[in-house]
Amino acid sequence: SQQGEEDPQALSIQEGENATMNCSYKTSINNLQWYRQNSGRGLVHLILIRSNEREKHSGRLRVTLDTSKKSSSLLITASRAADTASYFCATDSGGGADGLTFGKGTHLIIQP
């Protein structure tokens, strides 16, 4: 079963704008990760945030985590057409190598 939900389910913005996607989950977690999936490159890991972290940056990506609300957000700044993809959050609740629990995803479309 899915751990959580991303919202919105779909998002369409103009190139250059910022895109924000949210993820909620149900149980306690060890790590939360964001993945991107498009037809050209399959499922690609973007960024990981640990349960004791509140914010993390990687290039144009910014991830926040609020464990009290069991939620995370992914911000993509200065969006590009190549950012068009589905974005998923995934959680793991154990230590070490662990099966991931994915949300349903947000489909992001960047209009040129």
Largest CA distance in the chain: 42
Nearest partner of 91 among 23, 44, 42, judged by Cα:
23
Beta-strand (E) ranges in 4-105?
Answer: 5-7, 10-14, 19-24, 31-38, 42-50, 55-58, 61-66, 71-76, 85-92, 101-102
CB of 82 to another protein, least distance (A): 18
d(CA 46, CA 87) in angstroms, rounded, equals 9
- 11 lines the binding site for another protein (CB under 8 A): no
Window 33-52: residues binding another protein (CB under 8 A): 42-45, 48, 50
- 100 lines the binding site for another protein (CB under 8 A): yes
- 105 lines the binding site for another protein (CB under 8 A): yes
- 97 lines the binding site for another protein (CB under 8 A): yes
Q: Which is nearer to another protein, 3 or 79 (CB)?
A: 3
CB of 79 to another protein, least distance (A): 22
Residues forming contacts to another protein in the complex (CB under 8 A) are 1-2, 30-31, 42-45, 48, 50, 88, 90, 95-105
